[in-house]
Amino acid sequence: MHRNWCVGLALCWMPLLHAQLTEKSESWTRLEGQYLVDANRDSVLFLMAQIQAAQSDTAKDRKPHPDLAEVLQFAYQSLSVGNTNAGSRLFTRALAVYRDLPPGEWLEVASSLQFEVDRRIAAPGATLHARAEPGFVLGRPLKNAYRIQVALIDTQGRTVVERPAETLQNLETVSFSLRTSGLPEGAYRVRYQLLDAEGKVRAWVLRDVLLSASLEKRIRELVEQGRKLAAAGIALKSPAHALAVQTVQYTGGLYAQALEGPGPGLANRLSPVAATLADPKLPNYGTDPINPGRDLPMAEWMAADLLSGNSPLAVKKGDIRLAYISPQDQSMLPFRLFVPPGYEASKKWPLLVVLHDAGGDEGSYFERYPAQDGSSQLMKLASERGYVVAAPSGRGPMEYYTNASRADVLDVIDRVKECFAIDEKQVFLAGHGVGAGGVMSVPMGASSRFAGLLAVGGQPLEALDFSKAPDAPLLFIQGGADEIFGVTAARRLAFVLQRRYKQFDYIEAVTGDHAAVGVSALLQGFDFFDAVREGKWKPSGKPIPLPGNSRN
């Protein structure tokens, strides 16, 4: 917990008059106040990703603000020395300027206040407790008046419970109670709004809540089933038994957490100011980790089947949400698996491992890449082509497949190979955006694991020694209208990859934006994987366009 006054860099406590944030750009790198808690890391990285997208957009449409270079330099320097608090505030200021919102005291207030609801799942009639809490204080009274409004809304956006607005005199914790008496079971959201003196909404965020009369009992019973499985030593029977037991335990623990806290998922952790400044035009790859209708029946069936002496993974096909204990730190990590309808353990099957983009999770490729009929493009193609598919969590929505998150990818491959009939010579790796960087970084030092690599619209976060590039062929697909990872950067990277990979090809979609090329590349990717399996794939030989021949 930080208790220092403006730690690090040139960002120190300054005379009050000069330290305050104003519309004048000379104040944008100055930070005042005392940090109370560490900034949410996922929110900081989310802000950074939004900045990068805004810079790409700015490069195409208008000149960037001349004073933002220093702000962003300080922001990145702050992160490099571990000062996430300073980085968060500076990224927020830069993003506000990109959104044509002049910085001022309102932005300090919006940046400081975090919002949390005490549980994700509750029984009808329960009282929900919500809290707006500052991450830092300014050390002075607020000059302007602000109010916090909290309400419970239904899935149609209609207010069903609303609390009187609380006036904010200083940056301090404000608590709210929301009674759900008389409300039917179902999905709701708690809405937080920060209002200025004129009633303008300066920051907002939504937190999901599910009211159910039966879920708590089922969750408690599932947790108890997990204890029985552990006590019986069933996990020792085989890797498949162990994976099923760990899945039951993970699911029970996940939902027990939702009974007692806000629950997992980027949407329920993202800071209000990050949610407010997010560009609604950018794709959202996050999926909801709390889906009782999907998860509880599966885990309950697995538990019952295991306790009956069976191995549920021996017969289960289709879309499966699993979890395992990481050998890195003993944490429980989820992953998503698809077993095609025609799967039989009597023969070997190809395995495709997919790495999600920034803000995504293990469900992204399954739920956020739709076919024309709205179904999952990934599962549709995997069914038709006969592939087992695994999607690691990567340890979070804003990780970049380095260190522990890289190990997660390799660990998931090992678990799937232990439990299913996988051809070790036909393991393929694909990724989009940040996941594309993972496609380039994960095989370094593990080149023999992969038969082919597909990278779509992204690059590694860290500099890689491409002289150690694997022998596996790499297909790099880029959207010509990608608003997040621009064509100029893609072409420059492609020139490097072409020199370092023995088998490499670059395809540029003329009109595809970031989301569209992510979907269309799946079909091209499966064609590529099939050709590699059949020994028929060869680079097209087409030259990579020069970087200067694009507008971004």
Contact 123, 213 (CB under 8 A): yes
Predicted model pTM: 0.92
- Residues β-bridged to residue 169: none
Strands (E), 466-503: 474-479
Statement: residue 60 has pLDDT above 60 = no
Burial class of 205 by CB neighbour count within 10 A (0 to 12, 13 to 18, 19+) = buried
- Strands 146-154 and 113-117, by their bridges, are unpaired
Contact indicator for 202, 273 with CB cutoff of 8 Å: no
- Clarify whether residues 229 and 373 are in a common domain: no
Cα three-residue angle 543-400-492, rounded to 5 degrees: 20
- The pLDDT confidence band at residue 55, using thresholds 50, 70 and 90, is confident
C-alpha closest to that of 516 among 549, 484, 473: 484
At 271, the amino acid letter reads S
Q: Are residues 237 and 205 in the same domain?
A: no
More reliable by pLDDT, 203 or 102? 203
Final residue in a domain of this structure, among 211, 232, 253: 211
What integer best gives the mean pLDDT of the chain? Answer: 92
pLDDT given for residue 8 in this prediction: 35
- 423 plus 375 within the same structural domain: yes
pLDDT over threshold 70, residue 402: yes
Instruction: Identify whether 2 is part of a domain.
Output: no
The predicted pLDDT at position 62 comes to 55
Q: Do 123 and 228 lie in a common domain?
A: no
- pLDDT exceeds cutoff 80 at 384: yes
What gap in Å lies between CA 88 and CA 477, rounded to an integer? 32
Mean pLDDT to the nearest integer, 43-54: 90
Model confidence at 76: pLDDT above 80? yes
User: Which CATH number belongs to the domain containing residue 158 in this structure?
Assistant: 2.60.40.2550
Asked if residue 220 and residue 201 are part of one domain, the reply reads no
**Hey, CA dihedral for 68, 70, 71, 72, is it positive or negative?**
positive
Distance CA 297, CA 504 (A): 44
Question: Is residue 4 in some structural domain?
Answer: no
SS3 389: strand
Do 432 and 531 lie in one domain? The reply is: yes
Residues 246 and 200 in one domain: no
- Of 73, 103, 133, which one is at a domain's C-terminal end? 103
- Give the bridge partners for 152, in sequence order: 161, 190
**d(C-alpha 70, C-alpha 93), whole Å:** 12
Max Cα-Cα span within the chain: 75
Handedness of CA 392, 394, 398, 402 (dihedral sign): negative
Q: Which residues neighbour 62 within 8 Å (Cβ) at sequence distance 6 or greater? A: none
The one-letter amino acid code at 34 reads Q
Cβ–Cβ under 8 Å, residues 546 and 487: no
Q: What pLDDT does 400 receive? A: 85
* Boundary (domain end) residue, out of 211, 237, 269: 211
Please tell me whether residues 485 and 542 are part of one structural domain.
Answer: yes
More confident residue, 8 or 306: 306
pLDDT at position 478 over 70: yes
> Residue 496 is encoded by which pair of tokens?
């490097």
User: What residues make up the domain containing 151?
Assistant: 113-211
Contact 31, 522 (CB under 8 A): no
Instruction: Please check the confidence at residue 19 and state whether its pLDDT lies above 70.
Output: no
CA–CA distance, 192 with 130 (Å, rounded to integer):
9
How many structural domains does the chain have? 4
Q: How is residue 8 annotated by DSSP?
A: S
435 shares its domain with 516? yes
5 occurs within a structural domain: no
E-strand stretches of 312-449: 318-325, 332-339, 349-355, 388-392, 422-432
R_g (Cα) of the chain, nearest Å: 25
Tokens of 311: 């191995």
300 pLDDT higher than 80: yes
Residues 189 and 267 in one domain: no
Q: Quick one: average pLDDT of 171-196?
A: 98
The rounded distance, in Å, linking the Cα atoms of 75 and 47 is 11
Q: Are 24 and 380 in contact (CB under 8 A)?
A: no
Other beta carbons less than 10 A from residue 63's beta carbon: 7
* Per-residue pLDDT at 18: 42
Please indicate, yes or no, whether residues 515 and 378 belong to a single structural domain of this protein.
yes
Residue 4 has pLDDT above 70, yes or no: no
C-alpha distances in Å from residue 44, one per residue of 40, 92, 257: 6, 9, 24
| 66 domain residue, yes or no | yes
Determine the Cα–Cα distance for residues 46 and 52; give it in Å rounded to an integer.
10
In a domain, 498, yes or no: yes
Q: For residue 255, tell me if it sits in a domain.
A: yes
Provide long-range contacts, Cβ within 8 A and 24+ apart, for 159-166.
Answer: 160/188, 165/195
Written as six digits, the tokens of 349 are 């099957």
Angle at 398 between CA 115 and CA 128, to 5 degrees: 25
- For residue 541, the tally of other CB atoms under 10 A from its CB is 6
| Angle, helix 84-98 to helix 41-61, in steps of 10 degrees | 30
Alpha helices in 233-353 (DSSP H): 239-260, 272-277, 292-307
| Percentage of the chain exceeding pLDDT 70 | 94
pLDDT band of residue 14 (cuts 50, 70, 90) is: very low
What type of residue is 58? Answer: T
Same-domain pairing of 321 and 310 = no
Q: Tell me the pLDDT band of 165, cut-offs 50, 70 and 90.
A: very high
